[in-house]
Structure 1
Amino acid sequence: MTGSRRAAKGRRGSRGDVSEDGLQWVAVVVVIVKDGRLLALRRAMTKDAAPGLWEAVSGRVRAGEEPRDAAAREALEESGLAVEIEPRPVDAYALARAGVPMTVVVYAARWAAGEARCSEEHDEARWVDLEGFRALGAPARLVEAAGRALAAVG
């Protein structure tokens, strides 16, 4: 959680927890690229939000954590992969999830090591090209960002 021009609070809240002083969540999305393909993950059917949705690695930035560091951490936690995060985001946008304001920062990442695996948040992982990602039904905004990530990583 972070607020504009203010240090992040030193506590972790639950989903939907927004303080009265206007703090909001910051999340990262990580488009991991290996050999011209990107890692697509299917959200576990046990998830409350969007079960079965195909997405990229994603997660919240922790209090005091830099978004780029959060991207590397989430990549390892959710996919088992070590990655090299590109220095500049390929996209950023605001949204509300269950009425909670959130800023999302999208990074491109180059696969460095490891075999893709699923965490408890996902039940399937696939390396796909951009059209394959679109065909899986990934959100349009994410498909657009994935195209920029593929171009950034080369």
Structure 2
Amino acid sequence: MGATAIVFRDEKVLLGKRADNGSWQAIAGIVEPGEEPADAAVRECLEEAGVVVSVDRLALVQRMPRVTHVNGDQVDYMDIVFRCSWVSGEPHPADGELTQVGFYDLADMGEISAEHRRKIALAVAEDDAAHFRGGRAPR
């Protein structure tokens, strides 16, 4: 299971450039055994970007694209996306997973994927209910 933190500071969102593939995205990582997903989002922000955040609300729960491991096992991971608020700290690449990190205007997010734009859009509204992919009754 993964946790994604969409972190806002004033009218800006926290984005980082991944060291492994160069893509820009929100701060995200794997939930550790026994860890609550919201706690994982907070921890990842501190570990990867050097910022302390608080979780405001759940924004999205979704299944990620299927992964096939070397041994042939197939896994469907879950991503839990939280709207978060910046508390303290200036963003910087803290652990080597990101090469650049900072707060960016919503209108000027640069080269960010459609999937991450969607996560940010769902987190923008402060009082919006969480979104779930699927969840429809069978016909």
Normalized against structure 2, the TM-score is what?
A: 0.79
Q: Which residue in 1 is equivalent to 2:133?
A: none
Instruction: Tell whether 2:69 aligns with 1:95.
Output: no
Which residue among 140, 146, 150 is the counterpart of 2:114? 140
Q: Name structure 1 gaps, 5 residues minimum.
A: 1-25
3-state secondary structure, aligned to 1:141: helix
Alignment partner of 1:58 out of 16, 24, 28: 28
1:129-153 CA distance string (max 9 Å, x none): 22322xx221212212212323228
Asked if the contact 1:31–1:106 (Cα under 8 Å) also holds between the matched residues in 2, the reply is yes
Separation (CA, whole Å) in 2 of partners of 1:115 and 1:126: 8
CA distance 1:109–1:96, shift in 2 (3 Å): same
Match of 2:91 among 74, 99, 116: 116
1:34 and 2:22 matched: no
The answer to whether the Cα contact below 8 Å between 1:41 and 1:126 also exists between their aligned partners in 2 is yes
Aligned residues: 120
Structure 2 residue runs of 5 or longer lacking an equivalent are 69-74, 128-139
SS at match of 2:32: coil
Q: 1:106 is matched with which residue?
A: 81
Aligned residues: CA RMSD: 1.6
Counterparts of residues 8-19 of structure 1 (less than 5 Å) = none
